[in-house]
Amino acid sequence: MTAPERPAQGPASPPASAVPSTPSSPSTTSPSGGNAGNADNGRTGANTGTGEPGRATGLVRSLTPRQTTMIGLGSALGTGLFLGSGSAISAAGPAVILSYAIGAVLVAVIAVLLGEMSAAHPVQGSFGTIAHTYLGPWAGFVTRWMYWFSAVVVIGTEVVASALYIRWWWPGVPMSAAILAVAAVVLAVNVINVKSFGTTEFWLSTIKVTALCAFILCAAFLVFLGLPDTEAAGFAHLTDDGGFVPQGAKSVWIAMSVVMFAYAGFEVVAIASAEATDPQRSIRTAMRQLAWRLSVFYVLAITLVVALIPWRRLAAGDGSVEASPFVRVFSDIGVPAAATLTNVVVLIAAVSAANAHLYGASRLLHSLGDDGLAPAPLARLTSRGVPANALAASTLGIAAAALLAFYDIGGIFGILMSIALFAVLLVWLLILASYIAFRRHRDTHPEDFTGFSVPGGSKLAVVAGAGVLAVAATAVEVPDMRQAAGIGLTFTVVLLGCYALTSLRRARRA
């Protein structure tokens, strides 16, 4: 694998020897089929997956550092935070604050370590390609397919949420029509070019973050100062109904089975490194900012919500817009049409998350096609450097997942969601395993690398891996996680079988 070369007007990237030359790693090309870091003319090397020149030379590097950061926030800040996080609160009561804090630290570690790898190797396929290089082709295959499948299912739920929010205003609109309309809008934003996607996601995420900041300020005002005719709420609700840990200390661990998936999505920042104008600067800045911003947003927002509203009422919430803590806080402050405003915010949150996840899913599917691990047409790019076929295939999957999510034919969507939950944890574990192998090589050949390095990175990766396994271990107590583990492991075995058949077919052709 040829390591990333210097991007246009960017800092130097590691030379070719930065990537270990192992039997599982191609010697002259990246696992995704092109020059791993060729940023010539602002493009990342790519081909059609068939050995023939594509219509474009590769993905286009046009995402700015600000856009890269907001893309990460857009994918990680979904609708759950805005609608109350009732399932996590019901598991742990006010102690869910600790669950979110622990989850924030765990995600911050994974994000920063992934940022170090992605800055060193800003290649198409991102952590999937890196896993291919450092762990072997099987790991690259499983990581990318698992992430794609998980993203498609998650986007399906966001599309359903968006359609429901639209029907909140216009209930006469058929659900299937609303689902397809939202999917079409998200596809249109992505298919124009990556600059269009980056700009749209930047503004959607900005609106979402602004609304969240406004909520935190208003909620803090109610907690600490109160209103002229209402006393400050204070923090009595954190302890006045069974204490701070009403369900017992174990509940903090059990709540992690819900909490951790709220943070999923930050990986899109690493995927965007292949189309960033200055990968090293963009990824370093984006991952660091993402780590602390997610921590502040989630922990502070949940703390204020539980301080303002009794936790049992939050736990009993139905997830509707009217039951949202946003509506309660904005109504108390005197904001007119609080429910309508909240519906606008959650609609933007859902569309933004779907938009960012579709970007990530399509890029990994494109890299699989480029590597010969998915149908060759998926590797093709338009003249603007957009993987239109991969986008179309992902959108069809999203529409199918969304329709299954709403109509739940034969409980199929429940099975798909179980695979998606398992996939998130497995992808994180493979990222951490890749980092340990990457860091071993980097420490052995420090002269081959530039860019930032996380002190004690390997030890942090081991600790983070133990944390992810601890979340997976909640399967002992949580039926949904137990189902996810069983179905997810089966799906992983199926994927490994597909990889073995694909490798055998390619070997025979050779």
Give ∠ CA 396-365-3 in degrees, rounded to 5: 160
Task: Give the pLDDT confidence score for residue 80 in this predicted structure.
Answer: 64
* Whether residue 28 has pLDDT greater than 50: no
Output the average pLDDT for the chain.
80
* SS3 category, 287: helix
* Whether residue 442 has pLDDT greater than 60: yes
What average pLDDT does this structure show over 385-414? 81
What pLDDT digit, counting tens, does each position of 142-201 carry?
999 999 988 888 888 888 888 888 888 888 888 888 888 888 888 888 888 888 888 998
**Distance between CA atoms of residues 469 and 429, nearest Å:** 8
What pLDDT digit, counting tens, does each position of 105-118 carry?
999 999 999 988 98
Q: Reduce the secondary structure of 109-131 to three states and give it as a string.
A: HHHHHHHHHHHHCCCCCHHHHHH
What CA–CA distances, in Å, run from 155 to 78, 204, 386, 427? 10, 16, 20, 17
**Distance between CA atoms of residues 139 and 134, nearest Å:** 9
Enclosing H/E stretch for 492: helix 479-509
Residue 222 exposure: Cα atoms within 13 Å on the Cβ side: 22
Task: Give the pLDDT confidence score for residue 37 in this predicted structure.
Answer: 39
* Contact of 274 with 71, CB cutoff 8 Å: no
Task: Kindly indicate the confidence band of residue 469, based on its pLDDT and cuts at 50, 70 and 90.
Answer: very high
**Residue of 365, 368, 354 whose CA lies nearest to 401:** 354
Q: How many helices (H) and strands (E) does the chain have?
A: 18, 2
Pairing of strands 58-60, 43-45: antiparallel
Task: Give the pLDDT confidence score for residue 282 in this predicted structure.
Answer: 79
Task: Kindly indicate the confidence band of residue 215, based on its pLDDT and cuts at 50, 70 and 90.
Answer: confident
Query: At how many degrees (to 10) do helices 65-76 and 194-224 cross?
Result: 60
Q: How many CB atoms lie within 10 A of CB 213?
A: 14
Count the residues in the chain.
510
The amino acid that residue 454 corresponds to is V
**Distance between CA atoms of residues 250 and 256, nearest Å:** 10
Query: At how many degrees (to 10) do helices 479-509 and 137-169 cross?
Result: 130
**Distance between CA atoms of residues 375 and 472, nearest Å:** 33
- Alpha carbon 442 to chain centroid, angstroms: 26
Enclosing H/E stretch for 96: helix 96-120
What pLDDT digit, counting tens, does each position of 62-81 carry?
888 888 888 877 777 776 66
Q: Is the dihedral of CA 190, 191, 196, 200 positive or negative?
A: negative
* Whether residue 50 has pLDDT greater than 70: no
What average pLDDT does this structure show over 469-483? 89
* Whether residue 34 has pLDDT greater than 50: no
- For residue 434 the two structure tokens come to 């890749």
The full DSSP string for 141-180 is HHHHHHHHHHHHHHHHHHHHHHHHHHHHH-TTS-HHHHHH
* Whether residue 8 has pLDDT greater than 70: no
* Contact of 333 with 222, CB cutoff 8 Å: yes
In sequence order, the β-bridge partners of residue 230 are: 227
Task: Give the pLDDT confidence score for residue 193 in this predicted structure.
Answer: 85
Task: Give the pLDDT confidence score for residue 430 in this predicted structure.
Answer: 96
* Whether residue 84 has pLDDT greater than 70: no
Lowest mean pLDDT among 36-45, 145-154, 380-389, 430-439: 36-45
Task: Give the pLDDT confidence score for residue 322 in this predicted structure.
Answer: 64
* Whether residue 347 has pLDDT greater than 80: yes
**Distance between CA atoms of residues 176 and 174, nearest Å:** 6
Please give the residue that has the higher pLDDT: either 150 or 14. 150
What average pLDDT does this structure show over 465-470? 95
In sequence order, the β-bridge partners of residue 59 are: 44
What pLDDT digit, counting tens, does each position of 281-312 carry?
778 888 878 878 888 888 998 899 889 888 88
Lowest mean pLDDT among 53-62, 232-241, 416-425: 53-62
Q: Is the dihedral of CA 284, 286, 290, 292 positive or negative?
A: positive
* Whether residue 455 has pLDDT greater than 90: no
Rg (CA), the chain: 22
